[in-house]
A and B are shown apart, each in its own frame.
Chain A
Amino acid sequence: MSNPAILVENVTVHYGEVLALDAASLTVEAARICGLVGMNGSGKSTLFKAIMGMVKPDAGRVLINGESPAKARKTGGIGYVPQSEDVDWQFPLSVHDVVMMGRYGHQGFTRRASRADRDAVDLALDRVELSEFANRQIGQLSGGQKKRAFVARGIAQGATMMLLDEPFAGVDKRSEATITRLLKELAADGCTILVSTHDLHALPRLCDEAVLLMRKVLMHGPPEVVLQPEHLAMAFGLDVLNRDLPDRDLPAPGLPDRGLPAPGLPDRGLPAPGVANRPGRN
């Protein structure tokens, strides 16, 4: 039997006193698109960090294709698309520069780009249809193009697994459709894709399966089942579609963005010995 692409087994993570993940277990087979649903503070970001090996679980284990996250990182298998608010869009880098960063794991000490690296970047840009914007500063793209640029970075990297944090935030409907098609193509090529999102409307079209997270995995199944209101209510603590709710004062339709306070990770700042560094934002 082959190993699952992602295996999370009874993973528990604390940030100080705050319990972020409580014996969460999740298995995702290769080439599947899995949507991670839960409110802020439900542990979505923490689960991503555990899969990437950025936080060390207090208990449980994570295996990527049957190997440790550290080994998966070394072989360049893990691609990461950050959420918009975690990126400094003013940073003086071109789209091409950013996609080239996907190649760093394949390059030598000074990360000097070879012919092959440049070809890989061109190919990736072509695939996400951003070739004509290669020399634009990264912040001068539309919301959807920005996401595609980071997906291109994962493609150039040759990632066999991609983690996308809120890929539909700040993205218009048309770009959403483009990104959905792109991710489906990647999955068809064998890439395993894990998407965390608030945007429940985009899920059924994109995902093969969905996971309901509230510090632990409450439910894992086909999106149309997981997204049924009575199931969502478990994770969000209210009827998100606002049906049959007598009290209109309850938090609004759409999705509650408040909820639990995000676990306070040590924020940007000093890479003091033993202090988690910048990616700490949740």
Chain B
Amino acid sequence: MTERVRVKSLCPPGHVRAPWYLRGKVGEIERVLGRFGNPEQLAYGLQADSRPLYRVRFTMAELWGEAAETPTDTVDAEVYGHWLERL
């Protein structure tokens, strides 16, 4: 049972680890990685909340549309739960 998610289209200031090219894009959860300290706090030496981390698989078609080199190739990336909305 695959779970589809969309990366939130946010642009908060400061250190984040959700790459621009994935924001707003829809992918499938490839695996659940567990909970990790939120890098948005760790980067500033703050006490970090633990956040769930997922590996999300995106197709090249989803990322690049008509310009995709090979539409069915994929990019897997790690995205924290607070950057994802379930579809």
A and B associate in one complex: no
Residues of A within 8 A of B (CB): none
Binding site for A on B (CB under 8 A): none
